[in-house]
A and B are shown apart, each in its own frame.
Chain A
Amino acid sequence: MLAFAVVRPSGLPEAVLAVPVAGLAIATGAISLDHARAEAERLGPVVGFLAAVLVLAHFCDVEGLFQACGAWMARWAAGRPVRLLTAVFALASAITAVLSLDATIVLLTPVVFATAARTGVRPKPHVYACTHLSNTASLLLPVSNLTNLLAFAASGLSFTRFAALMALPWLVAIGAEYVVFRRFFVHDLAAAAPVGADPGEAPGLPSFALVTVACTLAGFVVASAFGVQPAWVAAAGALVLAGRALVRGRATAPTVVRAAAPAFLAFVLALGIVVRAVVDNGLADVLGHVVPEGTGLPALLGIAALAAVLANLINNLPAVLVLLPLTAPAGPGAVLAVLLGVNIGPNLTYAGSLATLLWRRIVHQHEHGVDLREFTRLGLLAVPSSLGVAVVALWGSLQVL
């Protein structure tokens, strides 16, 4: 099934195979009906949360948030490559944290490229920054990454405690990336020559989207204080933005449903059930010997490294599903260490994992001309340094908070 998800023959959604395989796993008794139901009940709120965040990001784009980001970056950087890199780091980190990594990859990356090209700056470091930060900056909130949502459900942490524990690791990991980028791309960042005199259109403030997102964030904190599922808050925020677009005729009911990516949601549910079946049928025993025990600094480093390696082999989504049941009994510290590994780790491999990369090679999709040596050299510098400081920061946060 994992192979199918990577291969995706004739562009079929991954859910086309994942859902029947999950059904088969239940039918053949590979996973008991109780376990399957427990897994579905656990993943239900996660999937709802995910749908809400996807809708929220989509309609922020409709409101013009990402275009405004491009205009802000262009004005603030004024054709200076290093300033543009700093702006990209700030915006990509914020957008990844609040609107999830999908928003940074799908919506922000083209805007960053266009901004760099329009202001006469070589776009490579800035586009690289988007791809790296979509992973590294997705540590902060449960909504930032699907892996976080899964771990959040398993960790038993409140929304605010999750964010509080991850704030320092998030900051130091981004800081480490920034230092690596400044050094790695020093020559590209030294070249600047403006093309034309187009300063970009005056940035209109998409205030409605910004206020809605800010209220949603505040709602997360309030809801978690009162023990309300934060997924409801996300749903409310998504409904407000989608409702406004519907009223203004800028969206139809089908576009709202498409924005929630129902096939993706079904895939997540099915993947969860299948991975549970695999874990139940022996993988737990095998990996149980490898996962370090305890929550001291060496154990956290070991867990994060293991998670990073696994994410690079089979993609971080299955990796986190495999590692969660093994680490959850050791407490939130171990679970968060898994997240550091599976979120930062994928920067090491082009396309996020060797499984995906291998398949792209087989079907010659690698003919995109990406210099894999450069990609990997950057990853070898950025991943160990940002992961290392992040784990130490997590360990520190766990001691203090």
Chain B
Amino acid sequence: MRVIAWLVEGTWPACVDAVRGHAPDGAEVVLLHVGGEQVPGLAHGAFAGLLGRGAVERDPGDLVERLGGSSAAELLAAAAERLGRPCVREERSGRVEREVVAAAEGADLLVLARDGDRSRLGPKSLGPAARFAVDHAPCPVLLVWPEAAPGLGTIPPPPHHP
């Protein structure tokens, strides 16, 4: 059995704990981190807006890209330590949601955390990236709450039909 855990800054411990709780002992565990292009792109864009500055080597976006690589490695190391069993660490970069789906091809389980509004139960608790991964995953999905799940009272009452 092959289990993919998609780890994101801020919510990854819940995914690691879910793997510990639900993946069978012999399963091959892959800890996946996808580095987005969005944040370096912001820095590239801000620099491009500085008209006349020349010197492309000063573009802060390149430095942000390199820093992103090393911080991803640190996150995966921390996650592997928390997991406490053999695992494979996989770093990808690109369009996050699509890379996740591609990585889940041929897997037996994809573990991911809700990344939207986590103050109430409901569809908005999935942000765009997690929504895409859940909707397109080519394998079974285990979707976890990063913190304790909100109570049932957060569901709005059913619409009133006269």
Across-interface contacts of B13 in A (CB, < 8 A): 193
Q: What's the minimum C-beta distance from A271 to chain B, rounded to whole angstroms?
A: 7
Q: What's the minimum C-beta distance from B40 to chain A, rounded to whole angstroms?
A: 6
B37 and A315 contacting across the interface, CB-CB below 8 Å: no
A370: nearest chain-B partner, CB-CB = B41
Q: Is B149 an interface residue (CB 8 A)?
A: no
A122 and B45 contacting across the interface, CB-CB below 8 Å: no
- Complex interface: stretch among B47-55, B83-91, B101-109, B151-159: B47-55
Interface string of B60-96 (1 = CB under 8 A from A): 1101100110010011011000000000000000110
A196 and B41 contacting across the interface, CB-CB below 8 Å: no
Number of A-B contacts (CB under 8 A): 162
A315: nearest chain-B partner, CB-CB = B51
Across-interface contacts of A356 in B (CB, < 8 A): 48-49, 51
Across-interface contacts of A353 in B (CB, < 8 A): 49
A368 and B41 contacting across the interface, CB-CB below 8 Å: yes
Number of B positions contacting A (CB below 8 A): 47
Across-interface contacts of A118 in B (CB, < 8 A): 71, 74
Q: Is B135 an interface residue (CB 8 A)?
A: no
Interface string of B119-162 (1 = CB under 8 A from A): 00000000100000000000000000010000000000000000
Complex: A213 Cα to B43 Cα, angstroms:
26
Q: Is B9 an interface residue (CB 8 A)?
A: yes
Question: Which of A15, A121, A134, A190 has the largest number of chain B CB atoms within 10 A?
Answer: A190
Across-interface contacts of A367 in B (CB, < 8 A): 37
Are A187 and B118 CB-contacts (below 8 A) given A131-B42, A351-B45? yes
B39 and A123 contacting across the interface, CB-CB below 8 Å: yes
B54 and A130 contacting across the interface, CB-CB below 8 Å: no
Q: Is A114 an interface residue (CB 8 A)?
A: yes
Besides A13-B54, A193-B13, 13 more A-B contacts (Cβ < 8 Å) are A106-B58, A117-B9, A127-B64, A128-B42, A130-B46, A187-B116, A352-B50, A353-B49, A367-B37, A368-B44, A369-B36, A369-B94, A375-B45
**Interface residues in chain A, defined as those with a beta carbon under 8 Å from any beta carbon in chain B:** 5-6, 8, 11, 13-15, 18, 81, 101-102, 105-107, 109-110, 113-114, 117-118, 120-124, 127-128, 130-131, 134, 186-188, 190-193, 195-196, 261, 263-264, 267-268, 271, 315-318, 346, 350-353, 356, 360, 365, 367-371, 375
**Interface residues in chain B, defined as those with a beta carbon under 8 Å from any beta carbon in chain A:** 8-13, 36-56, 58, 60-61, 63-64, 67-68, 71, 74-75, 77-78, 94-95, 115-118, 127, 146
